[in-house]
């Protein structure tokens, strides 16, 4: 067994982040799996200069809507990649599915429901398809690791202004109920597993009103694992000192 480090980050445009040199810290970091969301680029549009580190295996899933969504996964651990089209039925480039050994990693950019009632309905249906599928994969004897931007804060502790956002998509009761369901189905919120009820820890801040400077944020970026590997969780954290996006990276270390 060895410590395996996973990083997840919604970069809100990989080309924009590259112009800020905001991925260079990866070259000085020991990262086994790097999952990026909302890359907003085709594979051939990702600059070679994002970082110097070479990863042998890359999985890029771009949206059919150019300049939107998209996910990317980088690793040196050999496995088999796919894109999750059975869940992401609108082909918005929202999933990397990566099988390695007895593990399956899902790097996911879950839909945002704030634009319209139709998008909220799509988000909720996506949630259900995703949970059904990962439960199906578990029946094959696989252990599940999920990372990404879930676009929902689970509990009141997970956002700075819970009362004023009770009717906002991202903190609606129906969205939070799905996260309850995810945990009830045998998945663990690794940050809370390690840090308990530590307050004021967020992973996204609006660009408006200097929200990050004031730490008026939301915790909407997560690592979940299936409970069969609970004892393998070494560390989980929010890397809120890393700048470059309106999100910050989140981290998971497993002894696998």
Q: Is 27 exposed, middle or buried (0-12, 13-18, 19+ CB in 10 A)?
A: exposed
d(CA 97, CA 74): 12
Say how many CA atoms lie within 13 Å of 3 toward its Cβ: 9
Q: Confirm whether 149 is a catalytic residue.
A: yes
Residues making up the annotated binding site for Mg(2+) are: 10, 38, 149, 151, 246-247
Identify the active-site residue in 88, 149, 158, 221: 149
Distances (CA, A) of 94 to 39, 53, 154: 10, 24, 20
Identify the active-site residue in 98, 103, 109, 187: 109
Q: Confirm whether 247 is a catalytic residue.
A: yes
Residue in the structure block whose two tokens are 């931007």: 149
Residues 6+ apart with CB under 8 A from 245: 9, 10, 11, 12, 13, 17, 22
Query: What positions carry a catalytic annotation?
Result: 109, 149, 247
């Amino acid at each position: 067994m060895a410590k395996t480090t996973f990083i997840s980050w919604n970069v809100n445009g990989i080309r924009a982040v590259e112009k800020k040199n905001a991925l260079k810290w990866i070259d000085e970091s020991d990262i086994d799996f790097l999952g990026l969301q909302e890359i907003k680029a085709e594979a051939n549009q990702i600059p070679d200069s994002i970082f110097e580190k070479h990863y042998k295996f890359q999985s890029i899933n771009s949206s059919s809507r150019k300049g939107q969504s998209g996910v990317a996964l980088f690793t040196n651990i050999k496995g088999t990649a796919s894109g999750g089209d059975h869940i992401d039925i609108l082909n918005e480039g929202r999933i990397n599915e990566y099988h390695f050994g007895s593990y399956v990693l899902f790097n996911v950019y879950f839909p945002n429901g704030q634009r319209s009632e139709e998008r909220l309905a799509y988000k909720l249906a996506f949630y259900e398809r995703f949970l059904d599928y990962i439960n199906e994969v578990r029946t094959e004897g696989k252990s599940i690791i999920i990372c990404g931007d879930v676009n929902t804060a689970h509990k009141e502790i997970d956002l700075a202004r819970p009362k004023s956002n009770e009717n906002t998509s991202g903190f609606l009761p129906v969205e939070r109920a799905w996260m309850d369901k995810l945990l009830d189905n045998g998945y663990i919120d690794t940050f809370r597993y390690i840090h308990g009820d530590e307050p004021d820890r967020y992973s996204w801040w609006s660009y408006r009103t200097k929200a990050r400077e004031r730490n008026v944020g939301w915790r909407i970026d997560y690592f979940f694992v299936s409970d069969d590997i609970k004892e393998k969780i070494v560390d989980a954290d929010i890397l809120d000192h890393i700048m470059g996006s309106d999100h910050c990276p989140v981290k998971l270390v497993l002894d696998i």
